[in-house]
Amino acid sequence: MAISNLIGTVDPGQTAAVVLEAAQGRNTRLQKQVSTLQKQLAALKNRTDKNSQRVRAMVTNQLKSAQANLAASGKQLATAETRYYSQTGQYDKLLTGTNRDAYMAINTLFKSYGLETLAGKIFDYVKNGYSADTISILLQDTQEYKTRFAGNEARLKAGLPVLSAGEYLATEASYRQIMESAGMPIGFYDQSSDFVKWIAKNTSPSEIQSRVDLATQATALAPASYRQALKQMGISDTEMTAYFLDPTKALPFLQKSAATAAIGSEAIQQGLTFDQTYAEQLAMRGVSASQAQEGYSQVAQELGTMSELGKIYGSEWGQRQSEEAVFGTSAAASTQKAGLIAREKGAFGGATGGGRAGLAQSGGAK
């Protein structure tokens, strides 16, 4: 029997897991076949009659063929394992002994740096016999490492000493702790990329603490009217501090807060509930104060009637549904609203009461 018929062919379209499972199954079957033939041959070893000799010759040929098939299957299994474990990042399963130990130690270290993507390179270096020290040096020359520790590249160009990975991470942790303690907004100086310039310029954590303290003081000493105006716009003291610390980076946070507050103000003026999360969603969609005023005016006008229609026709309706229909943030709400109005018009032949009739002319906020 041909080897290809026994071990099959690999379909490129199959997943690595399926290919591995099939290869393991073939290998197991061939191992059993070889074992069975070896036992048969052993049983015929001491038999000298012509029939036994003929059978022994036949079994010997079958065994050679099965062993060749098993060898070919073993290569396919190794290839399938490499493919599967590589794709799933389980490189440790492709190594044994000291090589596996070395891989695990180096990979764990670089994973703590946030460089999980280097696992494949670490595997290749270990497999090729490089020492742990050599691998660490080689990895520092990768683009992933240079990007992660970008501040060191700038320090090197500026003639400053390069920080070790431990020193670099400790400095980042100090920066981040200072910002968290000051209550800075999420997304404002809390990512590794945010600290590159400070590290590049050798800015110490104590200096950053001084800057934060000065910004906090500037917020506290700002004219009361100025602070009140900002608070009415939805800008908190911590956001004001962030602005004094870095106006450019803080501006998007302030603009979002101001826009959210303006939208919420229009809801409140109409006697409606102010949902900050939904107002932020509208702000992110670019809804202006005038559009919010027009939209919430419409919501206030039709909410009572729409709620009544919802009760009549068994369809829950509240402020959120009205908001989503008016501002166009939910196709389902718009469809539900149109359906309720259509059912009401159908029930009364189009001659509905004043409040209800007005709904037929209602559109979304402009």
Total domain count for the chain?
Answer: 4
Residue in 326, 330, 263 with CA at minimum distance from that of residue 293: 263
Please tell me whether residues 289 and 350 are part of one structural domain.
yes
Please tell me whether residues 80 and 116 are part of one structural domain.
no
Identify the domain boundary among 188, 218, 245: 245
Identify the domain boundary among 72, 88, 104: 88
Please tell me whether residues 60 and 80 are part of one structural domain.
yes
The whole-model pTM stands at: 0.55
Give the domain extent around 100.
94-148
pLDDT score at 353: 45
At 276, list the tokens.
Answer: 């900050």
Helix, strand, coil content of the chain in percent (nearest 5): 75, 0, 25
128-144 burial code (b ≥16 CB/10 A, e <16):
eebebeebbeebeeeeb
Distance from the Cα of residue 243 to its chain's centroid:
29
Summarize pLDDT for 47-93 with one digit per residue, the tens: 878 888 888 889 899 999 999 999 999 998 988 888 888 888 889 98
Classify residue 196: in a domain, yes or no: yes
Phi-psi region of 317 (alpha: psi -120 to 50; beta: other; left: phi over 0): beta
Low-confidence ranges of the chain (pLDDT < 70): 1-14, 225-226, 228-230, 232-233, 349-366
pLDDT score at 5: 38
